[in-house]
Amino acid sequence: MVVRGQTARQRWLLTARLNQLPPAGDWFVWLILAGRGFGKTRTGAETIAEWARNTPRGRFALVAQTIADARDTMVEGQSGLLNVLDERELRGGSIDTAWNRSMGELYLKNGAKFKCFSSEKARSLRGPQHHGAWGDEPATWNDADQGTAEDTTWTNLLFGLRLGNDPRVILTGTPRPVRLIREVKKDEGTVVTGGSTSENISNLAETFKRNVIRKYEGTRLGRQELEGELLEDTPGALWKYAMFNREGFRIKLEDLPTLVRIVVAVDPQASQGSDNAETGIIVAGKDAAGRGYVLDDLSGDYSPTEWAEKAIEAYKYWKADCVVAERNNGGDMVANTIRAVNPKINVKAVWASRGKHTRAEPVSALYQKANIHHAKLFPDLEGQMTTWVPGDKVSPDRMDALVWAFTELLLEEEAVIPKTTISVPGADWRTVNRAGTLRIPGRG
Q: Do residues 329 and 207 share a domain?
A: no
**How is 110-139 classified by DSSP, letter by letter?**
TS-EEEEEEGGGGGGGSS---SEEEEE-GG
- 246 and 220 together in one domain: no
Most confident of 51-60, 277-286, 378-387, 413-422: 51-60
Q: How many CA atoms lie within 13 A of 122 on its CB side?
A: 18
What backbone phi and psi angles, to 5 degrees, belong to 224?
-80, -50
Domain that holds residue 81: 8-225
**Per-residue pLDDT, 425:** 37
Is 312 contained in some domain?
yes
Does residue 91 share a domain with residue 155? yes
Residue 437 is predicted with a pLDDT of 33
What backbone phi and psi angles, to 5 degrees, belong to 151?
A: 60, 35
Is 335's pLDDT higher than 90?
Answer: no
Q: In this model, does residue 329 exceed pLDDT 60? A: no
Rounded to whole angstroms, the Cα distance separating 413 from 34 reads 44
CA distances from 163 to 116, 128, 148, 190, 296 (A): 18, 10, 21, 19, 38
Question: Distance (Å, rounded) from C-alpha 215 to C-alpha 395?
Answer: 10
Stretch 220-230: mean pLDDT: 68
Query: Is the pLDDT assigned to residue 420 strictly greater than 50?
Result: no
In the predicted model, is pLDDT for residue 403 greater than 60?
yes
179 and 312 fall within a common domain: no
Q: Do 303 and 373 belong to one domain?
A: yes
**Which range, of 111-125, 130-144, 341-355, averages the lowest pLDDT?**
341-355
Least confident residue range of 67-76, 82-91, 146-155, 390-399: 390-399
Q: How confident is the model at residue 440, as a pLDDT?
A: 28
Residue 17 included in any domain: yes
- Please check whether residues 253 and 221 belong to one and the same domain: no
Tell me whether residue 328 is in a domain: yes
Quote the pLDDT of residue 34: 87
Q: Is the confidence at residue 333, as pLDDT, over 90?
A: no
210 and 254 together in one domain: no
CB-count exposure of residue 278 (10 Å: 0-12, 13-18, 19+): buried
- pLDDT attached to residue 431: 34
Q: What is the pLDDT of residue 159?
A: 94
Answer yes or no: is 420 within a domain.
no
Which pLDDT belongs to residue 394? Answer: 67
- Structural domain count of the chain: 2
Q: Is residue 416 part of a domain?
A: no
Stretch among 269-278, 291-300, 388-397 having the lowest mean pLDDT:
269-278
Helix (H) or strand (E) holding 47: helix 40-53
pLDDT of 115 over the 90 cut: yes
Query: Tell me, what's the pLDDT at 432?
Result: 34
The confidence score (pLDDT) of residue 407 equals: 93
pLDDT at 212: 65
Positive or negative CA dihedral for 368, 373, 379, 381?
negative
Average pLDDT of the chain, as a whole number: 83
CATH number at 75 reads 3.40.50.300
25 within some domain: yes
264, 324: one domain: yes
Arithmetic mean of pLDDT, 135-160: 90
pLDDT value at 61 more than 80: yes
Q: Taking 90 as the threshold, does the pLDDT of residue 2 lie above it?
A: no
List the helix and strand counts (H, then E) for the chain. Answer: 17, 14
| Predicted local confidence at residue 213, as pLDDT | 65
Same domain, 33 and 178: yes
Bigger pLDDT: 145 or 257?
A: 257
Q: Is the pLDDT of residue 252 over 70?
A: yes
Report the range out of 10-14, 148-152, 194-198 with the highest average pLDDT: 10-14
Q: Is the pLDDT of residue 331 over 60?
A: no
Q: Which amino acid is at 350?
A: V
Position 274 pLDDT exceeds 50:
no
Whichever domain contains 284, its CATH number is 3.30.420.280
pLDDT at 14 exceeding the cut of 60: yes
104: left (phi over 0), alpha (psi -120 to 50) or beta: left
